[in-house]
Amino acid sequence: MHDSTRPKGLLPSLRDIVSHGIITLLAVAIAFSLPQAARYILYEWWPLVERDANLLLATEIGMASVLVLLFNFAKIVWDNRQRVAMAKLTALAYARNGRRNWLSRRRERALVKRLSAARDAYILTLTGYDTFVEDSSLLRAALQSAYEIRVLLVNPVGAGLRRRVDALPADITLLSFHKEIEASIAYLAELRKAGKNITLKFYEQEPFWKVIVLGDHVWVQHCHTGFEVKHQPEYVFALQRHNLREGLYVPFYMHFLEQWNQPCHPEYDFDSNELVYRDGAGNECGRAALGVPINGAGFPAGFAPPAPDEKPAAGAHPLT
Instruction: Provide the residue-wise pLDDT of the chain in tens; the chain has 320 residues.
Output: 444 444 556 776 787 788 888 888 888 887 788 788 888 877 888 888 778 888 888 888 988 899 899 999 888 888 888 888 888 888 888 888 866 666 667 777 777 777 767 788 999 999 999 889 887 787 887 788 888 999 999 998 888 888 888 888 888 888 888 999 999 999 999 999 989 999 999 998 888 899 999 888 999 999 888 888 888 888 999 998 888 888 899 999 999 999 999 888 999 999 888 889 888 777 888 888 886 666 543 333 333 434 434 443 433 333 32
| pLDDT on residue 8 | 55
Cα distance between the two ends of the chain = 43
| pLDDT on residue 253 | 94
| pLDDT on residue 297 | 39
Nearest-CA neighbor of 160 among 259, 279, 301?
A: 259
| pLDDT on residue 293 | 60
| pLDDT on residue 25 | 86
Q: Where are the beta strands (DSSP E) in the chain?
A: 92-96, 120-124, 148-154, 197-203, 209-214, 217-222, 234-238, 267-269, 274-278, 284-289
- Bridge-based pairing of strands 92-96 and 197-203 is unpaired
Pair 185, 131: CB distance under 8 Å? no
The tens digit of pLDDT for each residue in 229-270 reads 888 888 999 998 888 888 899 999 999 999 999 888 999 999
| pLDDT on residue 318 | 32
- Return left, alpha or beta for 91; rule: phi > 0 is left, psi -120 to 50 is alpha, else beta: left
